[in-house]
Amino acid sequence: MYNFNRYLPSITRANWRVRFVQAGILATFALTSVWYRVPGTQPILLFTPLYTVRFAIFLAMLWTIGWWLIAGLPGFAELGRDRLRSLWALGLLTLALWAYASTTWAFQRVDYPEVGETAALQLSMVALFAVVVACCSPSARVVAAVLVIGLVGNTIVTVLQVASQSDLGLRWLGEFALGPDFPGVSVVQSGAVRWLRPYGLLPHPNILAGILVIGLLACAVWITSARRWLRWLGTLVFLGGLWALLLTFSRGAWGSFAAGIFTIGLHLWRSGRLREREIRIHSAITAGLALVVGVLFVANYGSFIRARAGITTESIELRSVSDRFVFIQFAERAIQENPIIGVGIGNFPWRTSYYLVEPAFANFDLIGDNVHHVFLSAWAELGLIGLLLMTGTLFIGVEATLRSLRARPDPARIAMLAGFVALTAIGLLDHYPWSLPHTQVAWWGLLAVAAALGD
């Protein structure tokens, strides 16, 4: 039987409570692809109206942080002795505190204070979770295994949704009601044909695509394994997941996947892993099979690809591009109005809803929304101070990761870094690594795992 215990830090053998912490960490990563929310009638949730607390992933983070406190903050002293990682943790926690402070001047602080409070609580929980991960994470190999297993589940759901062009009735896991003719549902269109994009167990195909990407990149750990059977299993899962990713028609995720693959290839080559003959040959075979998958996809969905690429003049795609441009303009306007402290965490969509009632935008069929750019989102909501805190913390985390990889070029940590890079690239075209708890925790959590000093 495969022994995962050998990948757990030695601290777990001395303190059984840490096993509960690490179980919470793994459960949180597993739940990044599940939108399930606990019914609001549960007594434990009646004390607060805040939206984020009902997510299953929020409860997993709460479990993780709670057991970490009960266990006596294992790994915290070691984190404090590491200058780079302690600065990263301090920066992330300061960003969360600044987000909470912004609720006092938030745009909707009087009429709807829960808007800012929900977003601040979400970011704070993610920040605390990431610090716990930095202190006592399971091995990156185990995290990668959880992501790969999640990829298998997401691939199955994706393919079945595409085949049926409807939901699968998985309401108990958070699946949305789907159909190509449902109002508000995301489709690609070629001529008169409307084709439902798969949602998985998440609220939008683009978000599903982002989760698929980090699972695909985690497959690199198995594909480059010393075990032949695990290499082929990794390749099989990778090819299925790649097909699922292509079916989402998420242009941003496709590009971010390329960025992640480049990151993995570069670091594996530098580490010497790809110079091993068996690994190099198997990786080349996997790349060739992936190319075949891509060709088959183009052959089957060429008309939709042309529509999605803007080669044709489908109104859906033109509208998608124009809407994003409008919200970029709104972000720039909000930044000009509040350049230093912003409009408050979570309040940018509300600020845009007020812009949209102005006469100049009276004919725009839009509602308030986030800007599809994580750095503009951070600047608009938390001002220049928040933007500098976020970018500085990201930079320190990446530097800590690169230092760790120089000391020990572990393929699993490389895959975690690649997942982080991919989500950052997605963040240049979409907002969900900043705005949604599932992808927000993946963004910061993967960086925390990648920067760990040792197993």
pLDDT of residue 273: 83
pLDDT-derived band at 10, boundaries 50, 70, 90: very low
d(CA 421, CA 265): 13
**What's the rounded mean pLDDT across residues 209-224?**
97
pLDDT in tens, 242-271: 999 999 999 999 999 999 999 999 999 988
Asked which of 42-56, 181-195, 307-321 is least confident by mean pLDDT, the reply is: 307-321
**What's the rounded mean pLDDT across residues 220-224?**
96
pLDDT in tens, 87-111: 999 999 999 999 999 999 999 999 9
Beta strands at 193-196 and 187-190: parallel, antiparallel or unpaired: antiparallel
pLDDT of residue 313: 56
Kindly tell me if the per-residue pLDDT of 48 is higher than 70: no
pTM of the complete model: 0.92
**What's the rounded mean pLDDT across residues 61-70?**
96
pLDDT of residue 140: 94
Average pLDDT, the chain: 90
Rounded to the nearest 10 degrees, how much is the dihedral formed by the CA atoms of 38, 40, 43, 48?
A: 110
- Tally Cβ neighbours within 10 Å of residue 11: 17
pLDDT of residue 276: 84
Query: What ranges do the domains of the chain cover?
Result: 144-276
pLDDT-derived band at 44, boundaries 50, 70, 90: low
Kindly tell me if the per-residue pLDDT of 389 is higher than 90: yes
pLDDT of residue 312: 58
